Chain A
Amino acid sequence: MSKILSKTDASGARRLRHQQQRNENIIGYVFVTPALLAFLMFIAFPFFFSLFLSLTEWNFLSGIQNLKFVGLENFRELLRDRRFGKAFFNTFTYALATVPTSILIALVLAYLLNGKVYGKKLLRLFFFIPYISSAVALSAVFKFMFREDGIINNILMSLHIVTSPVKWFTNPQLNKVPIVLLLIWTAIGYELIIYMAALQNIPKSLLEASELDGATGFRQFVHITFPLISPTTFYLVIVRLISAFKVFSAIDVMTLGSKALDNTSMVVQIYDEAFTKYNFGYASAEAVVLFAVILIITLINFWGQKKWVHY
């Protein structure tokens, strides 16, 4: 008798559990559906559609009936395209010029700000403001400051560093300078926040122990602090590289009115191809190249997190 009872009990419990799982499934999907819909509509679908478009030759204005499937022809053409090659090269230059510099400055600043400093909050603010401010507004300011008759030349000349106004935007050797400076200036705030958080997470006991062993100041920083925050540095390099590859507003604003081919970036190129010429097929191929670059950086990130970061 008791045996039978427990048996029905067990199956009842199983049924109940089954029922519960089904309920969990339903309620889980109810909660996730809005996000899933937004994801499918604004990320997944456009992404695959971009991949498809990259294999076509199509001008948006000519209508959908003129869409021609060309396979990898766009990518073959991209390899020969000197304009895109220039944009590709420039984007790398921007990334390599801005990422290490800004990270190094941010690291030193974070280290100093982490010690005994007066008015820490106010000082921090100075470095955050460029990061949170509208990139367009700041680019406009730089565009004006670096004009031939602008304040930068004024200062350089009054300090007798140069004798005649520097042509920051028209000299092909110099026209990346304002953009690079702007990108460094606006990147530091973010990196500073991340570094300061990382420094605060270092156990005090470790630093005190190293002090007892005679490691202070610079030596402590090089041998203890820096290795301990290496995951943060690695993370910042990756995040910053990715955002450097997407640079757009700074270049768009600074070249407004005087389209200089010299300092275009990949996104500027994509924008131009897509929304001034409406060559959606070719522009999509360019976008796919950008995606590939970012994908590679992300994969390095996954791989490197395991390999390069050690303490």
Chain B
Amino acid sequence: MKKQKIAKALLVTLIIALLGVLFMIPLVWMVLSSLKNANEVFATEFHWLPSEFRWSNYVEVWTSKDMSLVQAYLNSFFIVVFATVGQLVIAAYAAFAFAKINFKGKNFIFMLFLSSMMIPTQVTIIPRFMMFKEMGLYNKLFSIILPSWFGATAIFMLRQFFMGLPDDLMDAAKIDGAGYLRIFHTIMLPLTKPAMVSLIVLSFIASWNEYLSPMIFLTEKTKYTVAQAIRWYLLDQLSRYDLTMACATSAIVPVIILFIVCQKYFVEGIATSGLKG
């Protein structure tokens, strides 16, 4: 009986592992191609491994003067940091108010926020384009950052979280004469850490991978994000497939590292925001 169970577990593991390997093939191909010579990527006689591992491709991509990946990385990080911090700070205040403060019109505003989830970015992007042109934000990194400061999912998740915290916690502080601001900063906010980490990871990944808005709002090469750098290599006349793949690999690596480090928080974040959304 026990042996049978182990055999079954091994078989299931094997099946999933095979599928997992299949899932990884495109990424393995990407990494190997990034180490090949440009002609080798589409050689008539296909080999998985490069004839020699050309790590110099990475040096070339990272030091390229035509399309500076360093600059693109800095731009992407700048966007990610300011988008995430702005979104979470603003969301935390709003979520706390929705969960713990009784103010007039609260439900109406909350419903308004929730209904915004139905409006895709693609529907609002034309007026935003006009607005940013008017405000002088066109071709500025802040044109990507500012719209993400309203995060309905973050507000919703943090509200759920605050609602789960007992009111006694607040009442005790109130008796001691603490105002809402102090209660929020000293008691409530520190408790949100696990939810916050999940949200940081989610927001990081979302803004790091964003493509449509940067494509529309950031037109100067010095403002490009990493995603746009890949696009630049795809359009480049020189058809450096090896460098394109080196650039793609460079774009994926930070997200995978972040994911492995924060896997637990990420999975919890998706699971809770997903199941309750």
Q: Across the interface, do A271 and B212 meet the contact criterion of CB distance under 8 Å?
A: yes
A133 at the interface (CB under 8 A from B): yes
| CB-based nearest A residue for B226 | A134
A97 at the interface (CB under 8 A from B): no
Mark the stretch among B56-64, B109-117, B163-171 that contacts chain A.
B109-117
* Nearest chain B CB to A128 CB, angstrom units: 7
Q: Across the interface, do B212 and A248 meet the contact criterion of CB distance under 8 Å?
A: yes
Query: Once the chains are docked, how many angstroms separate the CA of A232 from the CA of B130?
Result: 39
| CB-based nearest A residue for B209 | A134
Partner of A193, one of B27, B146, B267: B267
Contacts of B271 in A (CB 8 A): 193-194, 196-197
Q: Across the interface, do B150 and A38 meet the contact criterion of CB distance under 8 Å?
A: yes
Query: Once the chains are docked, how many angstroms separate the CA of A94 from the CA of B82?
Result: 34
Count A interface residues, CB 8 Å: 93
Contact A132 B248, CB 8 Å, known A32-B98, A35-B150, A256-B234 = no
B55 at the interface (CB under 8 A from A): no
Count B interface residues, CB 8 Å: 96
Query: Once the chains are docked, how many angstroms separate the CA of A144 from the CA of B233?
Result: 13
* Nearest chain B CB to A76 CB, angstrom units: 20
Partner of B211, one of A242, A249, A295: A249
What are 23 contact pairs spanning A and B, CB under 8 A? A28-B102, A32-B98, A35-B93, A38-B146, A42-B149, A47-B119, A50-B123, A123-B13, A123-B20, A130-B26, A133-B209, A137-B227, A140-B230, A141-B27, A144-B42, A239-B277, A246-B120, A248-B122, A256-B231, A271-B212, A274-B126, A283-B126, A290-B120
A residues touching B (Cβ–Cβ < 8 Å)?
21, 24-29, 31-32, 34-36, 38-39, 41-47, 49-50, 53, 60, 109, 112-113, 115-119, 121, 123, 125-130, 132-138, 140-145, 147, 149-151, 154, 185, 188, 190, 193-194, 196-198, 232, 235, 239, 242, 246, 248-249, 252-253, 256-257, 267, 270-271, 274-275, 280, 283-284, 287-288, 290-291, 294-295, 298
